[in-house]
A = this chain, B = another copy of it.
Amino acid sequence: MNETRIMQTCCSSLRHTTGFFLASMSPLYVPPPECLLKSFTVPRRYLFGPGPSNVPPRILTAGSQPMLGHLHAETIEIMDHIKSGIQYAFQTQNRMTLAVSGPGHAAMECAIFNSVECGDSVLIAVNGIWGERAAEIAERIGAKVNKIVTSAGSYFRNDEIEQALSKYKPVLFFLTHGESSTGVVHPIDGIGELCHRYNCLFLVDSVAALGGSPIYMDKQDIDIMYTGSQKVLNVPPGTAPISFSERACCRIFSRKTKPVSYFLDLSWLANYWGCDRKSARAYHHTGPVTALYSLREGLAILAETGLENSWKRHKDVAAYFHEGLERIGLKPFVEDKKARLPTVTTIVAPPGYDWREITGYIMKNHNIEISGGLGPSVGMVLRVGLMGCNSNKPYVDMILEALTDALKHCHKSKV
């Protein structure tokens, strides 16, 4: 410390010195808000929208354990467990596996910010809202973005993807695994191989599908994949698992410019999560310690359940739901049964009804959240998410009953 400098500071600037505590002598002029002086309560509700899904008590309890330092040995051990849990859930042996300290959108930015430089060509598959978002993110950092677009409810053939890869020569191809806005689960096989043939990284958004629909990161040649905590994992939103292949890391760590975000810079995150083979972890940012406890617990439940059992349950429960829908006169939006996302079902908005009245009626009378469309599916569909602990047949019966009741009591125009 420069003592001389401090002395000078105290003596030479009278104006400054007198101002030091001037403001602190003034009275407050924004009073304590009344609303904060009352306690608040939160209702219990069935969260059968596209997420967040309900959080089981076991996970809430895990997240309410005592706070630890973000670099304490126990916290680091929990982070290591989370890495193992993500490797299992993603079916990958990638060393570069971690959780972003933010929601799925932060993970989407982490993936794109790190793998794309200004001026790079990027190819985005748009068959719903998530492709649009990825394109917007890539555009903001100056990428040359090309899109292939298909209508809501459908998906891409591999030959269409290959044609675009050949035409645009992108460094990155973005695809949504579970398109929650349209209810489509996208086939993945063969695409990674195609990307690599064209010297392109394969990025998959599996926010809405992971744990509910099969995906094998390594076997399917995926280079970057992320998910959110608040879907099948039933963990509160706020953390986002992500993983990078060796191929992705090679490109990322040989880029010419720094990623625009320090907070999401993989070279820092890699060290913070102990993925970079350095012995010490440096302070980067303060991770969400208690949210990590919850994430660990959600991954533990998935490990106990078993991925294959979880996939099968989501598939069976969704099929049971889809049969029930037909029985009460409703129609799944995605006709191709194989392409129906097992976690989030889209239902053709019942003709003659206002979808808002239906979701409002069900919330008010059944304490159940279901939702309308999003992005390209607005006004076209109702969306029902049954994820993780919410994926079970008694809940399906409950929703079918609520829908039947809503169709009976909501206003129907004569069409």
Interface residues of A (CB under 8 A from B): 1-3, 5-6, 9-10, 12-13, 15-16, 19-24, 26, 28-33, 35-37, 40-45, 47, 49, 51-55, 60-70, 72, 74, 77-78, 80-81, 84-85, 87-88, 91-93, 101-106, 108-109, 133, 136-137, 140-141, 150-155, 157-159, 187-190, 214-216, 218-220, 228, 230, 236-238, 258-263, 283-291, 293, 296, 299-300, 303-304, 306-308, 311, 333-336, 338-339, 369, 374, 380
Contact = CB atoms under 8 A, between A and B. Distances in A.
Nearest to A109: B263
A289 B1 contact: no
Contacts of A5: 150-151, 154
Nearest first, the 8 closest Cβ-Cβ pairs linking A and B are: A238-B288, A19-B189, A1-B153, A24-B214, A33-B84, A32-B303, A64-B64, A2-B151
Contact of A140 (B41, B55, B101, B262): B262
Given A81-B36, A91-B28, A141-B260, A287 B237 contact: yes
A286 B2 contact: no
Nearest to A49: B69
17 contacts: A1-B380, A2-B151, A15-B158, A19-B189, A21-B338, A22-B189, A30-B92, A30-B218, A36-B88, A42-B66, A43-B66, A45-B68, A47-B69, A69-B369, A106-B285, A230-B286, A236-B288
A215 B23 CA distance: 7
A71 to B, nearest CB: 9
Stoichiometry, copies per complex? 2
Contact of A261 (B26, B109, B150, B293): B109
A307 to B, nearest CB: 6
Contacts of A262: 105, 109, 133, 136-137, 140
* Interface of chain A, main secondary structure: loop
Given A6-B335, A158-B15, A81 B33 contact: yes
A374 B42 contact: no
Contacts of A77: 40
A87 B33 contact: yes
Task: Give the most central of A22, A67, A238, A262: most B CB within 10 Å.
Answer: A67
Task: Give the most central of A74, A151, A288: most B CB within 10 Å.
Answer: A288
A337 B304 CA distance: 56
A64 B63 contact: yes
Task: Give the most central of A20, A32, A77, A258: most B CB within 10 Å.
Answer: A32
A103 B285 contact: yes
A10 B307 CA distance: 27
A1 B52 contact: no
